[in-house]
Structure 1
Amino acid sequence: MNPDLSSQVRSALTRVIDPDLGRPITDVGMVESVEVTAEGVALIHLVMTVEGCPMRSRIEKDAAEAASRVAGLTEVRVTSGTMSEEQRRALVDELRAQRREVPFNKPGSLTRVIAVSSGKGGVGKSTVTANLALALTRLGYSVGVLDADIHGFSMPGMFGVSTQPTRVNDLLMPPIAHGVKVMSIGVFVPEHQAVVWRGPKMHRAIEQFATDVFWGDLDFLLLDLPPGTGDVAISVAQVLPTAELLVVTTPDSAASGVASRIGSLARSTEQRIIGVVENMSWLSVDGGERLEIFGTGGGERVASQLSEDQGTEVPLLGQVPLSPRVREGSDAGEPLTASDSSSEASKAFMRIAEHLAKPRGLAGRKLPLSLA
């Protein structure tokens, strides 16, 4: 055996990242053994977290490619098995060690939690959530989406997610679609089956999504709230008190009138409203004409009312045009912002995302400083 080459191979494997956990396979106990024979053959044995791991082939391939870059090897052989219950329990304990509480509530958390809300249904709140998540991802951020609309979940369909999350004991690894981590009650419920839950059970579901899902290191967690100011909105404020509210409305007075009620919710829950998005603002037709199908001024009215109500400026972050392609993308499981960055609607979502991504102040935040 060649211990020096074995050490180099193990070091090379630190560059192989588990797609579910977002951590090197060497850090999570997936590299069970590495040996290099006298003839220069690298023998690598990996252990997957669960039987039938959907990422097995990808991890084996990545491990073989990483090891093949080590000079002096004549061949690389990668085999794999499955973690024992003891190994799996140790991994889960390690992952949960820093997550005994909701990770996003800890003082050192760098994840910005944004709850996308609306006063009424039908304003395109879920469409805005999905496309903003894709826009933030295109800007280079790590993004997760939590579908908090328990009764009216739509994120799995919009992102094209059809598989259940990988389960490692009682820890869930969220499916990843278009680079976004997505979690919804919809991934557990058979198609066309209703979720018949009342307040306490929905509250528990929100808690579990926040604590029992391994989100990893996120820059943004977007929550798609149900319309209105009911049980789930209150539960989110209790489970994720750092969540900021982003209000979605349409230009018409009916939608903008009820959207301003979010201000009352924000006062009660002591949450900050970071801005307003006006959706379906106009329809562009041939010749460059804009048809304002739902009227005008709704977003500005809501922003003005909320600013007065909150005693601080609540800006209108952007206006998103009405576009059949936005609807088509959502129906196909491929939000428009992911498939066509040149469209008018995609550019509007990108401008809003850029505003949300502006650096925040550091007042009251701990900085990683040390004295040499």
Structure 2
Amino acid sequence: MLNVAVVGTGAICPSHLQGYLTFPNQCEIVALCDIYPEKAEKVKKEFSLSSTVYSNMTDLLAQEKVDLVSICTPPYTHAPLAVEALDAGKHVLVEKPMASSLEECDAMNEAAKRNDKILSIVAQNRFTTPMMRMKHLLEKDLIGDVLHTQVDSFWWRGHSYYDLWWRGTWEKEGGGCTLNHAVHHIDIFQWMRGLPDEITAVTSNTAHDNAEVEDISIAIGRYKSGSLAQITSSVVHHGEEQQLIFQGEKARVSVPWQVKASLAQENGFPTDNKSLEETLTEAYENDPALIYEGHAGQIQNVLEAIQHNGQVLVDGVQGRQTLELITAIYESANYQRTVKLPLTEASPFYTSEGILENVKHFYEKGKSIENFEDNEITT
């Protein structure tokens, strides 16, 4: 039985709690921690937990026998909390985004390595049946080389969303929609396609003048093969549609699932390739559905890796690659130039200090509230 502590009891915390409670024979939530302990007490009551509540993680680690720490705090705290927990000999599951900078990612990965502990980064959308089926389908190479990828991470957030004290600032949130909303689809994109060789991007703030950060970005990735990828990140899209489209030599497939395959007529115009469409649909639909999805799926993956000395699907190296791609988008947009990957320590955006020193503010944050009464989030 693994003892679990959850640090940070805000909007994403219930997803972690529900995930752990799905596996009562494998783990127990023994502690909750929040700088606002009254929030933790409220969550404790809502979930009928017997956990001890702490106001700081240092005391928690000193007083509780804990095997695994879930970090659900604002992004700027992820690195110091994760390193502290890893150095205390705990395994760590940390919410997205992994950290505020690549330097912090490297510090987290080094802490995991020197303590021989698991560091996993939340990427719960990988643990869904459609995404896992698409990953397996692409690995079968049935659509041929991927020529173009379209990533649409469309969300909508009202003006007041950025009134919360840590949101909408480069220092505390680390970025806008690209980092904090599109991170999941960007993660899946790089998991399925790998990192492009270069990024060219633009960002803007079109509807949130109470935030320093972007509320929309559009990036173009280019691979050595010439294949292109376009990545749109937004919190200004009504309807909140998300999709990944892969255009191969032989067919187009996407999540949500759609398939279209074409053959060339003598004049080059298309005609339907129904046989390939049926083959692709059969391969997709026959791939087994996941038993546990989302946070529960990832938490199961982490618990089993700890208990059986295995590997997690999303480790710190994978988490860093996702942040590297996002950092390249910010660097490209900020300097209005194409950025080559991989990024090195020479990048002006490698450190948090470099980002804060160089990044442009769209607006200055004018309103800051401590908490919202309604803690519910939509996904």
- TM-score greater than 0.5 by the shorter chain: no
TM-score by length of 2: 0.31
TM-score by length of 1: 0.31
Name the structure, 1 or 2, with higher relative contact order (CA <8 Å, separation 6+).
2
Larger radius of gyration: 1
